[in-house]
Amino acid sequence: MKEKYIEFIKQFKENSLYENKSIDNDELFGIKEFLSEEYLNNNFYLDKNIFIKCKNELEKVLFKYNFLLNFYKEYENRLKNEIEKLDKEYFELDKVSSLGNKFFSMKLLKEYYNYIIPYDVVYKKNLIFTDESVIKSNETLEEINFTIKEEKNSVFIFFNKGLSNIQDIFINLYNEFTISIFGIKENGSFEKIVSNKNSSDKLFINTSSTLFKGIFITGIGNINGYIKELKIYEYTKGIIRKNGIIMYKLKDLEKLNKIFYGSNSGTKIYKLKTKEYNEFLKILNTDNFSSILNENKEIKKNIEYNLNGENDIFIVEIFNQNTNISDKLNFFGKVKNEN
């Protein structure tokens, strides 16, 4: 390789026919000879050394080209490998390990917490979990399968089943963008769904009754490669926006003396004991929760509470009819005998 490099540098520096005697320096760009009287009368002769020189110069040019091509191919492969490694590392940290995400969130808090409280989701209704969020649904919600085609600064999504009555579009991007979403009609024309919305909203609701064969997403900035999660849903029986409910059973509380309920959503949360939880199950289908879920049971988010030895806790989270998306609740604690 060292010898090839030395030869490569030498050829670039030498006064060769290719480097300094290009035909673009000649009169008529090198075709003067072909307009001469001798050439037109078929009496034109060329020195064979000219052809030999041309052949040698072309070989040198080819060598230089292959050298540069191999260098850039090697560099491209190195970049691809590094990008794949970074993607895998980010995937492990951000998507695979929800516990890792919770740990990062816990360490960003002003107060010190050292325990991520485990829980069981013992009941949920009219809700769907994504990687980072919870979104409103109902019993008739169906996820649409699709294929993605990326264009410059935009993305086309085509539904595998063809025309669909879409309702919810959940899109989670690695960075924040201002985006617009259009439905693609059967004839290929566009119909606006949302325009100039911040991608941090994540959930976008289509209110049009038009059947679409896909959607088109564009934005301020290049969104290609930034889609982290995309889900599209349709309803088979029309629109029903009911209350959504999640119930959590917290675990391992006996080792803690402090608890923190972390969320930035507009949902309300309530704390129940086992007896109250069993009573609440009896009225779940009535949508009349006030007899149990009252102000005395409501818990404020992002505030620290003393447990005082309490270890029988069910948390009920309510999505009212106007709340369609929430981040996931985090439960953090402080282990006893630590400040």
Tell me if 305 is assigned to some domain. yes
User: Residue 169 pLDDT > 90, yes or no?
Assistant: no
127-129 and 256-262 strand pairing = unpaired
Report the SS3 class of residue 6: helix
Query: Residue 303: inside a domain, yes or no?
Result: yes
**CATH of residue 229:** 2.60.120.260
pLDDT score, position 204? 84
Q: Are residues 120 and 248 in the same domain?
A: yes
Are 179 and 248 within one domain?
A: no
pLDDT reported for residue 124:
77
Residue 88 lies in a domain: no
Residue 85 domain-assigned? no
Whole-number pLDDT of residue 184: 93
| Element containing residue 70 per DSSP (H, E) | helix 48-91
- Kindly report, residue by residue over 124-146, the tens digit of the pLDDT: 777 777 666 677 665 456 788 89
Say whether pLDDT at 89 is over 80.
no
Give the count of domains, the chain: 3
pLDDT confidence of residue 141: 64
Q: Where is the domain boundary, 197, 217, 237?
A: 237
246 and 132 within one domain? yes
Residue with the larger pLDDT of the pair 182 and 57: 182
Q: Token pair of 274, please?
A: 């086992």
Q: Tell whether 163 and 212 lie within a shared domain.
A: yes
Greater model confidence, 307 or 167: 307
Mean pLDDT computed over every residue of the chain:
77
Q: Which domain holds residue 177?
A: 139-237
List, in order, residues 6 or more apart from 134 with CB less than 8 Å away.
127, 128, 244, 246, 319, 325, 326, 327, 328
- Decide if 91 is inside a domain: no
Q: Name which residue leads in pLDDT, 150 or 135.
A: 150
Q: Is residue 322 part of a domain?
A: yes
- Are 249 and 272 a contacting pair, CB within 8 Å? no
pTM score, two decimals?
Answer: 0.48
pLDDT at 166 over 50: yes
- What pLDDT is recorded for position 6? 60
Asked whether the beta carbons of 58 and 50 are under 8 A apart, the reply is no
